[in-house]
Amino acid sequence: MLQILCQDEVTRRETVARERRLRKAKSEQQATWQGLDFDTSPKLPYAKIRDLAACAGYIPVRA
């Protein structure tokens, strides 16, 4: 039970910190990798960017 509460607190703090950074950046809109136009930049490796965005193979999955 304590582990669940601690994980919830960590998640909440990360969310609040991310929202605070976004507000501080004063960005009009939030960009995503899906919004990249790969047709105008054919040298961008679409598969690698997709994998990085999904953290595929970079961050170990916890059981």
Q: Where are the domains of the chain?
A: 2-53
pLDDT tens per residue, range 5-53? 999 999 999 999 988 988 888 777 767 767 777 788 778 788 887 788 7
46 with 38: CB under 8 angstroms? yes
53 with 45: CB under 8 angstroms? no
Spatial distance between the Cα atoms of 30 and 25, rounded to a whole number of angstroms: 10
Predicted TM-score of the model (pTM): 0.43
Spatial distance between the Cα atoms of 51 and 63, rounded to a whole number of angstroms: 20
Handedness of CA 13, 15, 18, 22 (dihedral sign): negative
